[in-house]
Amino acid sequence: MILAFVLVVLVVGSVIFHLLSPWWWTPIASNWDYIDHTITITFWITGVVFVAIGLFMAYCVFRFRHQEGTRAAYEPENKRLEWWLTVVTTLGVAGMLTPGLFVWNQFITVPKEADVIEVMAQQWQFSFRLPGKDGVLGTSDTGNVSSENPFGLNPNDPNGQDDVLIEAQDLHLPLNRPVKVLLRSVDTLHNFYVPQFRAKMDMVPGMVTYFWFTPTRTGTFESICAELCGTGHYTMRAVVVVDEDSAYQTWLQEQSTFKQALAKNRNSTGSKLSLALSKRQTGSADSVYGVIPPKRNSLRN
Ligand SMILES: [Cu+2]
């Protein structure tokens, strides 16, 4: 009797908690409201099943409780019931998977007019690359990665010379322009995720993964690494700022190209990124905590 009551309280409490929970989605800032719809459909299907099974268990516990003089009947096979459960389960699973297939198809079908950017991950920071005036990203190879060339770009590729390298870790994007995000990693598995964009994907060493989205409102959003990637994983964050076009152009003018960065690094003024990388390669304890603050770098050098 008490157990049946507890089961009912669990079911009703879970539903109320779900409806009143403060931990809900951040307000969306991209075109991917389809992804929210698929999650809502999944919540509905699993919610209805959860309530039905929870209440059915409570009913059974109450209805078939121990009573003097009655004995349980053993009934291992019931074809009708099994058919019925198989059909309902199949419909439920199909209902959850089908919308996802349509959304996934859209998620990886990039519109032709999309701008291309690249996000590069390493323990434990994100860096960004834009294709520059020619609109084409230069080729890259992890074998080229060095303190002078932290992105590992091919120095002989003319397409790469004007690539814009963003080492300050804040990426700006223009409002309402679709963007294809190429993802790569130089060391281990990472995942680029901005919750407001409803888009994320693993970054896998040795391959380039991608997704696309259109930012639909201006603002400053935090990107996090959503793949446990080592002791500094929790520090692996960056900022994505969605700008009106004029503010975006102003920001873009202030960024330096691969050619400029290479010259600057050769003059050994050093960049935050290259220093962090070179210290990591030489095994400095500081690098365990990711990016070394620039002030400390200047004190050391
Ligand atoms: Cu990571």
Alpha carbon of 185 to ligand 1 centroid (Å): 9
Tokens 């804040």 found at? 170
Alpha carbon of 276 to ligand 1 centroid (Å): 15
Token duo for residue 164: 């814009």
The answer to whether residues 272 and 132 belong to one domain is yes
Instruction: Note whether residue 299 is domain-resident.
Output: no
Alpha carbon of 193 to ligand 1 centroid (Å): 10
The answer to whether residues 84 and 144 belong to one domain is no
8-state DSSP, 172: E
Instruction: Note whether residue 295 is domain-resident.
Output: no
User: For residue 267, what are the contacts with CB-CB under 8 A and spacing of at least 6?
Assistant: none
Question: Tens of pLDDT along the chain (301 residues)?
Answer: 899 999 999 999 999 999 898 888 889 999 999 999 999 999 999 999 999 999 999 999 998 888 888 888 888 889 999 999 999 999 989 988 999 899 999 998 999 999 999 999 888 889 898 888 887 788 887 777 777 777 888 878 777 777 888 875 689 999 999 999 999 998 899 999 999 999 999 999 989 999 999 999 999 999 999 999 989 899 899 999 999 989 988 888 887 788 777 777 776 544 455 545 544 444 433 333 334 333 333 333 3
Alpha carbon of 220 to ligand 1 centroid (Å): 20
CA nearest neighbour of 261 among 251, 250, 269: 269
The answer to whether residues 151 and 41 belong to one domain is no
The answer to whether residues 224 and 92 belong to one domain is no
The answer to whether residues 28 and 153 belong to one domain is no
Q: Residue 253 burial by CB count (10 A; 0-12/13-18/19+): exposed, middle or buried?
A: exposed
Alpha-carbon distance of 112 to 11, in angstroms, equals 48
Alpha carbon of 126 to ligand 1 centroid (Å): 8
Contact 177, 214 (CB under 8 A): yes
Alpha carbon of 125 to ligand 1 centroid (Å): 7
The answer to whether residues 237 and 278 belong to one domain is yes
Alpha carbon of 245 to ligand 1 centroid (Å): 30
Strands across the sheet containing 170-174: 170-174, 237-243, 219-225, 190-194, 199-203
Number of domains forming the structure of the chain:
2
Instruction: Note whether residue 258 is domain-resident.
Output: yes
Chain centroid offset of residue 169 CA: 16
Instruction: Classify 121 as helix, strand or coil.
Output: strand
What was the pLDDT predicted at 32? 92
Instruction: Note whether residue 259 is domain-resident.
Output: yes
Alpha carbon of 37 to ligand 1 centroid (Å): 28
Alpha carbon of 256 to ligand 1 centroid (Å): 25
Alpha carbon of 155 to ligand 1 centroid (Å): 27
Instruction: Note whether residue 300 is domain-resident.
Output: no
Instruction: Note whether residue 293 is domain-resident.
Output: no
Tokens 């291992």 found at? 76
The answer to whether residues 120 and 22 belong to one domain is no
What was the pLDDT predicted at 66? 86
Domain limits for position 133: 115-283
Instruction: Note whether residue 273 is domain-resident.
Output: yes
What was the pLDDT predicted at 168? 57
What was the pLDDT predicted at 268? 58
Token duo for residue 28: 């969306």
Instruction: Note whether residue 276 is domain-resident.
Output: yes
What was the pLDDT predicted at 218? 92
Domain containing residue 227: CATH number: 2.60.40.420
Alpha carbon of 282 to ligand 1 centroid (Å): 20
The answer to whether residues 157 and 262 belong to one domain is yes
The answer to whether residues 140 and 255 belong to one domain is yes
Alpha-carbon distance of 246 to 54, in angstroms, equals 56
What was the pLDDT predicted at 263? 75
Alpha carbon of 22 to ligand 1 centroid (Å): 27
Alpha carbon of 224 to ligand 1 centroid (Å): 8
Alpha carbon of 52 to ligand 1 centroid (Å): 40
The answer to whether residues 211 and 95 belong to one domain is no
Alpha carbon of 279 to ligand 1 centroid (Å): 18
Alpha carbon of 169 to ligand 1 centroid (Å): 14
* C-alpha separations of 70 from 3, 19, 64, 67, 285 in Å: 20, 42, 10, 6, 72
What was the pLDDT predicted at 299? 35
The answer to whether residues 120 and 95 belong to one domain is no
What was the pLDDT predicted at 295? 37
Alpha carbon of 24 to ligand 1 centroid (Å): 24
The answer to whether residues 10 and 125 belong to one domain is no
